[in-house]
Structure 1
């Protein structure tokens, strides 16, 4: 039989009241911790969304990667200097180097010919740089020593002139004993150097013919590597 204390709720068990026992209690009293957790989760999601949006905006409005319309080759010596050989002596590519990097791919070839007494000796260097991160246009023409110092025959100095109709920009450097042609096209930088030396009794080459041959071989090289 239920006694009066049980009916009147006079027992004190020390346990907290439940919503069934306190129908008028505020709901926040029970759901407060969960609400705070949801607010924290929402703040984290919002922060992540803002960060992701910032990254997208940075990619969208940052400096774009340079345009590269040419492919990288490991052995640049496989592309012959046909026109230069016809205007000088038969040149053969016999020393190739290359490297691939997330920011820059480059290839290099040195061309030479057998030595002959009483005749001028000729040599040539060809290089291709593919800049994949930074625009090379701001530094174009500022490396007179060759492909970042890798060239062994090129030297600084000489008379520089613009060459129209070749890539975006083209520079031809004329100096005693040789010429150098550089071409900028998007993120690609091409270089061709031709030099001659020795043979004191041998006549000097027709420099205009050599430079015209360099332009022809440069066009052929760019066409061969175009994607």
Structure 2
């Protein structure tokens, strides 16, 4: 029998290897992106309903009206927000909460830089992976927390009422010193509720 030519074996091996590599590349290109581990966090329809804010109710007074912004629910990101009023009219404080769920990209590397950009320089321990607080003293405060793919911001602002260019204050405004403690307690409770 006639001897087989060595270069035919080599050519056949190269073609087979290319086919396997090309098929793998095609399959890889068709795979859905893996995204990030959501660590149990979920999207909710009404953030105000999930956020009980019991510690802030004790600190600020009766919980009043709620307001929610339109929800963002995209493959890469989900975002929900809620605004709640506390206390008597005229001495009212407004609490705003934003919950952002990063589904495709890890927000960790940029979180601290963004917090510093917003002027949040005081680190807070015992909540999430990273947390920063901005104490605005009598005017309120802002707490930003990152826990895996979930990013939270909670703000407290004292509402001023203006009439003919003059500030009108009726009722007693709550003491906001140490407000970071109930803010942290309520955010921990919200984080747990969003994992149920």
TM-score higher than 0.5: yes
Larger strand fraction of residues:
2
Cα distance in structure 2, aligned partners of 1:140 and 1:220: 22
CA contact (8 A) 1:97 1:109 kept: no
Alignment TM-score, normalising by the size of structure 2:
0.72
Change (3 A) 1:93 1:141: farther
The normalised TM-score by structure 1 is 0.63
Distance 2:175 2:88 in 1: 20
For 2:127, the equivalent position in structure 1 comes to: 166
Return 5+ residue gaps in structure 1 as ranges: 1-23, 29-35, 145-155
Equivalent position of 1:76 in the other structure:
47
Match of 1:97 in 2: 70
Residue 219 of structure 1 aligns with which residue?
Answer: 188
| Gap regions ≥5 residues in structure 2 | 161-167
Whether contact under 8 Å (2:67, 2:83) holds in the other structure is yes
8 Å Cα contact 1:108-1:128 kept in structure 2: yes
Structure 2 partner of 1:138: 109
* Higher RCO (Cα < 8 Å, 6 or more apart): 2
Shift of 1:196: 0.7
Between the two proteins, the alignment pairs up a number of residues equal to: 176
Q: CA deviation at 1:180?
A: 0.9
Q: Pick the structure with greater CA Rg.
A: 1
Q: Structure 1 residues 52 and 84, CA, compared in 2 at 3 Å: closer, same or farther? A: farther
Q: CA RMSD in A?
A: 3.5
Kindly state the Cα deviation for residue 195 of structure 1 after the two structures are TM-superposed.
0.8
Separation in 2 of the partners of 1:104 and 1:128?
A: 11
Give the Cα–Cα distance (whole angstroms) in 1 for the partners of residues 132 and 26 of structure 2. Answer: 39
Tell me if structure 2 keeps the 8 A contact 1:77–1:96.
no
CA distance in 2, matches of 1:206, 1:67: 40
Q: Distance in 2 between matches of 1:75 and 1:56?
A: 39
